[in-house]
A and B are shown apart, each in its own frame.
Chain A
Amino acid sequence: YKTFDGDLKWDHNDVTYRILNYSPDLDVSTIDDAFARAFKVWSDVTPLTFRRLYDGTADIMISFGKKDHGDFYPFDGKDGLLAHAYPPGEGVQGDAHFDDDEYWTLGKGPAIKTYFGNADGALCNFPFRFEGKSYSSCTTEGREDGLPWCATTADYDKDKKYGFCPSELLYTFDGNADGEACVFPFEFEGKTYTSCTTDGRDDGYRWCATTSSFDKDKKYGFCPNRDTAVIGGNSEGEPCQFPFIFLEKSYTSCTSEGRSDGKLWCATTSNYDKDQKWGFCPDKGYSLFLVAAHEFGHALGLDHSNIQDALMYPMYKYIADFSLHQDDIEGIQYLYGPKKGPKPTPPKPSTTTSSPVSTGKPNKKTPQTTPSTASTTTPSVYTPVDPSVDPCTVDKFDAITEIQGELHFFKDGYYWTSSNRGNKEHKGPFMVSERWPGLPAKLDTAFEDPLTKQMYFFAGTQFWEFTGKDVRGPRSIEKLGLPGSLKKVEGSLQRGKGKVLLFSGENYWRLNLKTQKIDKGYPYHIDNKFGGVPVDAHDVFLYNGHYFFCREIYYWRMTSKYQVDRVGYIYELLNCP
């Protein structure tokens, strides 16, 4: 490994980052997730933590750009240079830039995350069958509104699982329209547009108005790329037009003719010779996660390594199950030292992007055969613990929560309590059914309403409300406004003013306890506010004014200012010897 001259490094361990804009190739949550995982590569082996900022100046400012993008190091179109980053320091130092003439994926070709539908945001499954015909890209077949969709299993006719594909008719990103879909036609400088345009911009990004007149309302957003869109060239975002004429010959598929570099391209009008409109055909693309992990290595102070298998080797190579090379570990630990506290768990594979999105359907028709939206929950099988079992040997509690100043640890129908006041020894086990009759043995989360002192328990898709021993429920979590596809609520944080955050998977929702409804605008990704904690925490709770995120036997403690200030063992909270 190599460091920059003078061993440039950050003089603080709580490094901040900010994502300034997004690429049209991937949806926002996939990009957020790729960057978060790329930072985790480094925080797993050092004492560094990474906190995301949403405004102001962060240590590491991340942006996508093309060719001349504001520094003295222009990108070069598709392939060749993929990204660059600056070593730690003020101003542009520490920043990371990604070439948006690349096709950003997770490294294995189009990763088309679906929206709405009934597949919980699953990826498209290509090829898929619909009414006996095979499709290897999103299609508008079966719909009258032009919304592209795909099946998320191999056979729509059999499984009826589907979602909508990214398109400007579904949403926009960045801009100032809060992700509203394009409105066509729209007016811009007196001219009428019926599709996304690059007019009025010199960076090549496609945009649209989200009302019928940009001139009047000034509302706009950038258009996501459809999976059939070309990359780069002079028609970014447009679909290939087949057949097309090139040098007076007709082509019905992408070709490398006319190019010495062998890259496949297509025309985006029916006649290249006349219109000269073209772009590269989508390929496997580059893994944003892997490239970002490399660039963040620079942003932390590592220069290029000459070990071919190291992450900091300058050439791109796709690796399915990534793990940091010893050379990279030694390099970063030379600068910042090793991680203290519990041993890190291996990073997740780079292909995980299964965080669910809100389900439902746009106010448009579904594919011809309306899919069923019913979801089933398989009851989990569990083995009850022996009440004589020491809670200090439990490797994963069902739920942990503070009730009247005491921490309660739930496991398989029993609970233990501990307190940091008076006699600190933990007490229990107690029977859950004696104090809160009617609850199932397996709970997912629980919390006390600080205003009314009522207790709420969640298990699977149901929840219960207790006032003393009086119970209301079980009721379906769907009644609260949570998606019907949600299998369980895994954590909860009381927020004051009768609000509680409910956590499931990588997302969280805010519940208004008074109206018993989820507030508008949710869910948010955990990283949105709680950077630096595991996104796969199976328990989240509030204790002594701190937020606790648990994974297995470890907890991450976060201050009310969203800074992780301690990582420790659950057993410490139980006051185990």
Chain B
Amino acid sequence: WSKPIDSKDVSFPEDILKNMTDIQMADSYLERFGYKMILHKSGRQGAVSNSKALKRLQTQLGLEETGELDQPTIDAMKKPRCGVPDVRN
């Protein structure tokens, strides 16, 4: 019988992808691709709530608009993609 390996996360040198929590990852994703900022009529930029940002993302990606960080949204965020922001302010 083989002995199970005790898994242990390691920080690999030069590895940019850090061991982030899903919430941290979502925060960074929403910001990077433009979902967290909104342009007001006055021309000033402002941040929107995570829930609003998530809804914008879910609309853009054709996902169910729950406004929550559900599994389909997390999966979509982890997919390889183009670096051009989805929302431009």
CB distance from B41 to the nearest CB of A (A): 16
The B-contacting residues of A in range 127-149, CB under 8 angstroms, are none
On whether the beta carbons of B17 and A77 are closer than 8 Å, the reply is yes
Interface assignment of B24: CB less than 8 Å from any CB of chain A: no
Q: Which of B8, B9, B14, B33 has the most CB of A within 10 A?
A: B14
Interface assignment of A67: CB less than 8 Å from any CB of chain B: yes
The number of chain B residues with a CB under 8 A from chain A is 26
Interface assignment of B66: CB less than 8 Å from any CB of chain A: no
Interface assignment of B83: CB less than 8 Å from any CB of chain A: yes
Over the window 431-468 of chain A, the binary record of Cβ atoms lying under 8 Å from chain B Cβ atoms (1 yes, 0 no) is 00000000000000000000000000000000000000
Interface assignment of A389: CB less than 8 Å from any CB of chain B: no
Q: Which residue of B lies closest to A306 (CB)?
A: B60
Interface assignment of B16: CB less than 8 Å from any CB of chain A: yes
Which A residues are in CB contact (< 8 Å) with B86? 304, 314
Over the window 413-424 of chain A, the binary record of Cβ atoms lying under 8 Å from chain B Cβ atoms (1 yes, 0 no) is 000000000000
Determine, out of A36-44, A259-267, A364-372, A566-574, the stretch whose residues face the partner at the interface: A259-267
Over the window 5-45 of chain B, the binary record of Cβ atoms lying under 8 Å from chain A Cβ atoms (1 yes, 0 no) is 10111101111110100000000000001000000000000
On whether the beta carbons of A247 and B12 are closer than 8 Å, the reply is no
Which B residues are in CB contact (< 8 Å) with A76? 16-17
CB distance from B85 to the nearest CB of A (A): 8
CB distance from A238 to the nearest CB of B (A): 13
On whether the beta carbons of B16 and A77 are closer than 8 Å, the reply is yes
On whether the beta carbons of A79 and B84 are closer than 8 Å, the reply is no
Determine, out of A80-88, A322-330, A507-515, the stretch whose residues face the partner at the interface: A80-88
On whether the beta carbons of A258 and B81 are closer than 8 Å, the reply is no
Over the window 263-284 of chain A, the binary record of Cβ atoms lying under 8 Å from chain B Cβ atoms (1 yes, 0 no) is 0010000000000101000000
On whether the beta carbons of A298 and B81 are closer than 8 Å, the reply is no
Take A73-B83, A233-B15, A295-B82 as given contacts and tell me if A308 and B9 are in contact as well, using a CB distance cutoff of 8 Å.
no
Take A258-B8, A258-B9, A259-B12 as given contacts and tell me if A304 and B19 are in contact as well, using a CB distance cutoff of 8 Å.
no
Which B residues are in CB contact (< 8 Å) with A195? none
On whether the beta carbons of A315 and B80 are closer than 8 Å, the reply is yes
On whether the beta carbons of B10 and A84 are closer than 8 Å, the reply is no
Which A residues are in CB contact (< 8 Å) with B76? 315
Complex-state Cα separation, A260 to B10, whole angstroms: 9
Interface assignment of B61: CB less than 8 Å from any CB of chain A: yes
CB distance from B72 to the nearest CB of A (A): 12
Which B residues are in CB contact (< 8 Å) with A315? 61, 76, 79-82
Which A residues are in CB contact (< 8 Å) with B88? 4-5, 303
Which A residues are in CB contact (< 8 Å) with B33? 314
Interface assignment of A63: CB less than 8 Å from any CB of chain B: no
Q: Which one of A82, A249, A265 contacts B12 once the chains associate, using CB atoms below 8 Å?
A: A265
Which A residues are in CB contact (< 8 Å) with B19? 260
The B-contacting residues of A in range 219-271, CB under 8 angstroms, are 232-234, 247, 249, 257-261, 265
Complex-state Cα separation, A278 to B79, whole angstroms: 23
Take A76-B16, A77-B16, A306-B59 as given contacts and tell me if A83 and B83 are in contact as well, using a CB distance cutoff of 8 Å.
yes
Complex-state Cα separation, A83 to B84, whole angstroms: 8
Complex-state Cα separation, A4 to B87, whole angstroms: 10
Q: Which residue of A lies closest to B82 (CB)?
A: A314
Which A residues are in CB contact (< 8 Å) with B81? 80-82, 314-316
On whether the beta carbons of A80 and B17 are closer than 8 Å, the reply is yes
CB distance from B70 to the nearest CB of A (A): 17
Interface assignment of B62: CB less than 8 Å from any CB of chain A: yes
Interface assignment of A113: CB less than 8 Å from any CB of chain B: no
Q: Which of B15, B62, B79, B82 has the most CB of A within 10 A?
A: B82
Which B residues are in CB contact (< 8 Å) with A308? 61-62
CB distance from B71 to the nearest CB of A (A): 16
Over the window 63-107 of chain A, the binary record of Cβ atoms lying under 8 Å from chain B Cβ atoms (1 yes, 0 no) is 000010000010111111111110000000000000100000000
Complex-state Cα separation, A257 to B76, whole angstroms: 24
Complex-state Cα separation, A77 to B15, whole angstroms: 7
Which A residues are in CB contact (< 8 Å) with B8? 247, 258
On whether the beta carbons of A234 and B80 are closer than 8 Å, the reply is no
Complex-state Cα separation, A425 to B69, whole angstroms: 73
The A-contacting residues of B in range 44-89, CB under 8 angstroms, are 59-62, 76, 79-84, 86, 88
On whether the beta carbons of B61 and A306 are closer than 8 Å, the reply is yes
Which B residues are in CB contact (< 8 Å) with A247? 8, 10
On whether the beta carbons of B15 and A79 are closer than 8 Å, the reply is no
Which B residues are in CB contact (< 8 Å) with A79? 17, 80
Residues of B within 8 A of A (CB): 5, 7-10, 12-17, 19, 33, 59-62, 76, 79-84, 86, 88
Task: Please name the 6 residue pairs, one residue from A and one from B, whose CB atoms are nearest each other, closest first.
Answer: A84-B83, A258-B10, A77-B16, A234-B14, A81-B83, A316-B80
Sample of 7 more A-B contacts, CB < 8 Å, known A67-B16, A80-B17: A73-B83, A79-B17, A79-B80, A80-B80, A233-B14, A286-B80, A316-B82
Sample of 12 A–B contacts (CB below 8 Å): A77-B14, A79-B17, A80-B81, A81-B83, A84-B83, A233-B15, A234-B12, A298-B84, A303-B88, A304-B82, A314-B33, A314-B84
